Amino acid sequence: MIDVATLNDIKGRIEGACDRSNRSDSQEIQIVAVTKTLPAKAIKSAYDAGLKAVGENRVQEAAEKFPLISELPGMKRRLVGHLQGNKARKALELFDAIDSIDSIKLARRLNSILEEKESTTEALLQVNTAADPSKQGFQTHETEAFFEIIELQNLNIKGLMTIGELTSDKSKTRKTFQALRNLKETLNDNLTRRNKLRDLSMGMTGDFEIAVEEGATMVRLGTALFGNRNR
């Protein structure tokens, strides 16, 4: 489902964006293959192409698809869509990382379940940098909430996630990514070395090059990898 030419083109575009922004870490930028609405074989296709992270938007869809694929050593399963509190326990069973924590309530719920299991999990905090009322996520000024969640013992907060503003004005899209990078820097100025944030998950098919120029360490790609979805 993913052909070599398509993947090489995407990698070339990432390298180009790094060159334009004087970044030297293009090989360290992770491509998360988003397989929502696609069959389980799309996950195997991503793995066979050398990608090591897959993103699903819905817990129920992941529960139906993941059992259909064999073990894929080194493949990280990431939840990139909104998570309802009543599905938190199931999400922790299915996913290796929760990239869409968008409230203190959800963070506490996940942490409580992990405490019961005597386990930890990797996570990202979702930030609504576009201040779009139709999107989930923290506002950039909610710093107290960020610090409280980062201190939770069973959530390993690795960084931040956002969705770029959907607009033809690329300067507005760029500002949403700049805001996330600036927020990470502000938080890190007040965090211990152990708790400092590394990752910025931002950029999708239509805007990933801008996101890379602004510091993305992960880009979430679906259509760019697999073509247009049927639904």
pLDDT tens, residue order, the chain (231 aa): 898 899 999 999 999 999 999 999 989 999 999 999 999 999 999 999 999 999 999 999 999 999 998 889 999 999 999 999 999 999 999 999 999 999 999 999 999 999 999 999 999 999 999 999 989 999 999 999 999 999 999 999 999 999 999 888 999 999 999 999 999 999 999 999 999 999 999 999 999 999 999 999 999 999 999 998 765
CB-facing half-sphere around the CA of 12: CA atoms within 13 A:
6
Residue 225 to residues 25, 43, 169, 201: CA-CA distances in angstroms? Answer: 21, 11, 24, 17
Compute the distance between CA of residue 154 and CA of residue 145 in angstroms, rounded to an integer. 16
As a whole number of angstroms, the distance between CA 226 and CA 206 comes to 14
Give the CA count within 13 Å in the CB-facing half-sphere of 82: 9
- Phi and psi at residue 193, to the nearest 5°: -55, -40
Residue 170 tokens, joined: 């690329």
Residue with tokens 């996940």: 110
For residue 187, CA distances in Å to 45, 147, 150, 181, 184 come to 37, 8, 10, 10, 5
- Determine the Cα–Cα distance for residues 123 and 111; give it in Å rounded to an integer: 11
Residue type, 125: L
**All structural domains of the chain:** 4-226 (3.20.20.10)
Question: How far is Cα 156 from Cα 99, in angstroms, rounded to an integer?
Answer: 11
| pTM (predicted TM-score) | 0.96
